[in-house]
Amino acid sequence: MQKLKANLIEHINSGFRDAVAKDYPNENRLDFYVNKQCIPSILTYAKDRLGYIHLSHIAIVDWLEEGEFELIYIIWSPEEKIKMFVRTRVERENPVMPNIDMIWRQANTYEREFREMYGIQFQGLEAPEEFILEDWQGPPPMRRDFDTEEYANETFFHRPGREDAGDVREEIIKRSREEIPDFAKKYSR
């Protein structure tokens, strides 16, 4: 496993000098921090030359405090059985990313979702604008600075709570005469 990983780091670094590797020794996982421009080429390289043929996930995290989105392309090689994380960061203001749906067709779906939910533009992405939301007017809703609770309070009706609403557990005890398990007792009000 470690041999394979070292081999992999060597391969990647020979082609992409600024790719920083980070190893997780106990797991079959290897991270690479790369520049966003390298993404298509590094993924193509990994897919065509290294046998990382399966795009398992494209994860996204909104680091609001740092003003950046982090995109993590997780690819998997059925031969080497190693998860490779290709991580990149893109600024939150007017984010633009290269498009990779010609490498893996399914990436199209991820990119459509990110475009709608985070407002990230992918260069040359061909897909209808609306994906999940319909008639959405506000900011991209999955960004951390969008307050969903406030929006919900403004837009939807809420049913007022009951006057006699008490602790459910007590009611349950009264009805079923069952003891609350110890581990749960701690949390009861």
Partner 1 sequence: MSYDKDSHKIFDFIQNWARKHSIWVLAYGTGCGAIEIPPTMTSRYDAERLGVRGAATPRQADVLLITGYLTTKTLKRVIRVYEQMQDPKYVIGFGSCTINGGMYYDSYNTIKVLDKYLPVDVYINGCMPRPEAVLAGFAKLQQLIAEGKANGAQKYKENLEWYRENQKRISPHWVMPEYNW
Partner 2 sequence: MREKATTLYLGPQHPGITGNMMIRLKVEGDTIVGATTEVGYLHRAFEKLQEKRNWLQSFTLMCRFCVPETDPMEESYARAVEAIEGREVPERAKYIRVMVLELARLASFMLWYGGQNGSLGLYTMGQWSVGDRNYILDLFEELTGGRVYHMYIWPGGVRRDLPKGFEKRVLKTMDYFEKRLNDYDDLMFENAIFKKRTQGVGIVDKEKAIEHGVVGPVLRGCGIRSDIRIDDPYEVYDKLDFIVPTAEGGDIWARALVRRQEARQSIRIIRQVIDMMPSGSVYNKIPNPQKWTLPKGDAYVRTEAVRGEIGLYMASDGGTNPRRVHLRGAAYVHAITLLEDILIGANIADVSAIMNSLGTCPPEIER
What residue ranges bind partner 1 (CB under 8 A)?
133-135, 137, 141, 146, 148-149, 151-152, 155-159
Residue with Cβ nearer partner 2 (14 or 168)? 168
Least gap, CB of 14 to partner 2 (angstroms): 25
Residue with Cβ nearer partner 1 (20 or 133)? 133
Residue with Cβ nearer partner 1 (54 or 143)? 143
Residue with Cβ nearer partner 2 (56 or 153)? 56
Task: Name residues whose C-beta falls within 8 Å of residue 95's C-beta, 6 or more positions apart in sequence.
Answer: 69, 118, 119, 120, 121
Question: How many Å is the Cα radius of gyration of the chain?
Answer: 23
Find which of partner 1, partner 2, none residue 164 binds, CB within 5 to 8 Å per kind: none
Q: Which two tokens stand for residue 118?
A: 């985070």
Distance, CA of 39 to CA of 45 (rounded, Å): 10
Residues in contact with partner 2 by the rule CB under 8 A: 27-29, 53-57, 59-62, 72, 74, 76, 78, 81, 83, 85, 104-106, 108-109, 128, 130-134, 141-142, 144, 146, 148-149, 181, 183, 186-187
3-class SS letters over 55-83:
EEEEEEEEECCCCEEEEEEEEEECCCCEE
Q: What are phi and psi of 130, to 5 degrees?
A: -80, 135
- The partner residues of 21 in beta bridges, in order of sequence, read 32
Least gap, CB of 189 to partner 1 (angstroms): 19
